[in-house]
């Protein structure tokens, strides 16, 4: 069955793409959860227009993020968190925490999905200075995050 995705579906495709899926998957999962719609001729035309608009919007957002990345290398972010006497944090500092700190301190709106730790999938668990990387498309910039005990 041909369907048009109304939003990104992991393992299937991205928003406004036209996909061929099994009838059972479409009827029992995608359509009832309003993740997709039938691919009629009029719906396909509408989806193509929406997809091009959506692609242009995503490209604009990426371009803005790239401009923000240029100013990121000189940025120093300070995060205060509760820690014991040896400097071990009670709660780890995650990408979302760094994103909020960037927004409040440096006025850079960088979503958490673009922030990566140098040690893969390892949040910050110690006080001190840590290097963190921001990845947008093919651009990467490293910046410093300072974690202090409250």
Domain range for 138 is: 73-149
Q: Using CA atoms, how far apart are residues 28 and 41, in angstroms rounded to an integer?
A: 23
- Residue where a domain stops, chosen among 63, 88, 114: 63
**How many domains does one find in the chain?**
2
Say how far apart CA 76 and CA 51 lie, in whole Å.
Answer: 38
Report the predicted TM-score, pTM, of the whole model to 2 decimal places: 0.65
Q: Residue 145 and residue 127: Cα distance in Å, rounded? A: 10
Boundary-marking domain end, from 63, 88, 116 = 63
Question: Is 143 found in the same domain as 83?
Answer: yes
Report pLDDT digits (tens) over 111-141. 888 888 887 778 899 999 998 988 877 888 8
CATH code (residue 130): 3.10.430.100
The closest of 135, 147, 55, 61 to 98, measured between CA atoms, is: 147
Q: Extract the residue ranges of the chain whose pLDDT is less than 70.
A: none
Which pLDDT does position 138 carry in this prediction? 81
């Amino acid at each position: 069955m041909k369907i048009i995705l109304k939003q990104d579906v992991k393992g299937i495709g991205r928003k406004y793409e036209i996909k061929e899926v099994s009838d059972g998957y479409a009827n029992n999962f995608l359509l009832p959860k309003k993740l997709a719609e039938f691919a009629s001729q009029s719906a396909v035309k509408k989806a193509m227009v929406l997809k091009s608009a959506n692609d242009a919007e995503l490209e604009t957002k990426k371009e803005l993020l790239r401009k923000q990345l240029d100013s990121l290398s000189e940025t120093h972010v300070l995060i205060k968190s509760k820690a014991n006497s040896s400097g071990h944090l009670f709660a780890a500092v995650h990408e979302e925490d760094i994103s909020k700190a960037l927004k409040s301190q440096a006025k850079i709106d960088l979503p958490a999905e673009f922030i990566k730790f140098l040690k893969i999938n390892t949040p910050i668990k110690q006080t001190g200075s840590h290097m963190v990387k921001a990845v947008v498309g093919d651009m990467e910039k490293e910046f410093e995050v300072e974690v202090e005990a409250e």
